[in-house]
Amino acid sequence: MQTRPLGRTGLDVTAISFGGGGIGNLFKPATRDDAEATLHGSWDAGIRFFDTAPRYGHGLSERRLGDFLRQKPRDSYVLSTKVGRLLTPLRGRTMTDYGFTDPLPFEQEYDYSYDGVMRSFEDSLQRLGLDQIDVLYMHDIGTDTHGDANAHWQPIAFDGGLKAMVELREQGLVKAIGLGVNEVQVCLDAFEHADLDCFLLAGRYSLLDHDSAAPLLEACRHRGASLVVGGVFNSGILATGPKPGAMFNYAPASDEVIAKAQHIERVCAAHGVPLATAALHFPLRHEAVASVLLGVSNTRNLERNLASLDTDVPDALWSDLKAEGLL
């Protein structure tokens, strides 16, 4: 599989990366056997960039991914995880529902402080069963997650958490640092506080929704940073097609969004390219994009996505989408 540089870190990552939300039982259960089969299938397909987070299954994803990666030479893959949440034992408390089925018995608590980030990093190493993490993201800082409370959390994160992450990089304990979020402005704000290497941006640079990402792409190009793009199907509509009930950003798509997706689909069909295939290829056309992250929990979806990656997409498709005002 093709590799690309991750900013100026010296890391080369595969153009397709593995997202660990699914093996953390996001929205539906994945058995241990399903998770292992999906990870083995990803490895056999050439994927060598793996992402997880404490949030996913309340530690379940990190444990499953670490169990798999311990079987591989440590210099043969790149691993990312995230900070910003600490996991604490339930001990009789009622677990908050974050969309994970049968998660581990821990509660998630936000902590973007210097000490919280350092503890989260060490906790992740324990859950992974590994002694090294390559890429560390600050997870879900910003108004999309916290609303008005972000006015409280962001100063703590930027004055404390980012400082901890910079120190971890300076000490050689991680090779790259950045944000893992689904909004653009907080990434631009973070650039004013630290020299970041990369951003995992979900849902904001897709075939259907990409205008808002332009300032961040330009900033990355100017500063030598990279974008890892998640949510290329916008939580469903670009994979299932713009049909009634299609999902867009985890909610039913509006009539306006469905109409735009139908317009894109018609242009794609004129070139014999499935909508999902175009959606997967689109982000990889930009020089600042290092990898597209796929969140899969079974081999069937993995194989379908990889088949789309191997499909040739003519340049004329992109020209026609631009001529139609869709790019």
Per-residue model confidence as pLDDT tens digits over 217-262: 999 999 999 999 999 999 899 999 999 889 998 899 999 999 999 9
List phi, psi (to 5°) of 292.
Answer: -110, 125
In this structure, are strands 247-248 and 226-230 parallel, antiparallel, or unpaired? unpaired
Percent of the chain with pLDDT over 90: 95
86 pLDDT higher than 90: yes
Is 72 catalytic? The answer is no
Helix crossing, 32-44 with 60-69: angle to 10°? Answer: 50
Distance CA 106, CA 100 (A): 12
78 alpha-carbon distance from chain centroid: 14
As a whole number, the mean pLDDT across the chain is 96
Distance CA 163, CA 156 (A): 10
How many Cβ atoms from other residues are within 10 Å of residue 173's Cβ? 16
Q: Return the beta strands (E) in 106-249 as ranges.
A: 106-110, 135-139, 176-181, 198-202, 226-230, 247-248
Contact (CB, 8 A) for 17 and 49: yes
Q: Return the beta strands (E) in 61-104 as ranges.
A: 78-83, 85-89
What pLDDT is attached to residue 235? 87
Of the candidates 34, 44, 56, 110, the residue annotated as catalytic is: 56
Q: How far are the Cα atoms of 107, 144, 154, 234, 239 from residue 150, in angstroms, in the given order?
A: 20, 9, 6, 24, 32
Query: 202 falls in which pLDDT band (50, 70, 90)?
Result: very high
pTM for the model stands at 0.96
pLDDT, tens digit (0-9, with 9 covering 90-100), for 127-183: 999 999 999 999 999 999 999 999 999 999 999 999 999 999 999 999 999 999 999
Task: Measure the CA angle with vertex 306, ends 231 and 8; round to 5°.
Answer: 60
Distance CA 129, CA 172 (A): 19
Domain boundaries, the chain: 3-251+276-311
Is 56 catalytic? The answer is yes
Give residues with Cβ within 8 angstroms of 26, minimum separation 6.
Answer: 56, 57, 99, 100, 101, 295, 297
pLDDT, tens digit (0-9, with 9 covering 90-100), for 294-303: 998 889 989 9
Contact (CB, 8 A) for 297 and 22: yes
Distance CA 107, CA 25 (A): 16
What pLDDT is attached to residue 121? 98
Torsion angle, alpha carbons of 72, 78, 84, 89, to 10: -10
Domain 3-251+276-311 sits in CATH at 3.20.20.100
Of the candidates 82, 114, 137, 140, the residue annotated as catalytic is: 82
Percent of the chain with pLDDT over 70: 100
Q: Averaged over 90-105, what is the pLDDT?
A: 95
| Partner residues linked to 252 by β-bridges | 247
Is 51 catalytic? The answer is yes
Of the candidates 33, 34, 44, 51, the residue annotated as catalytic is: 51
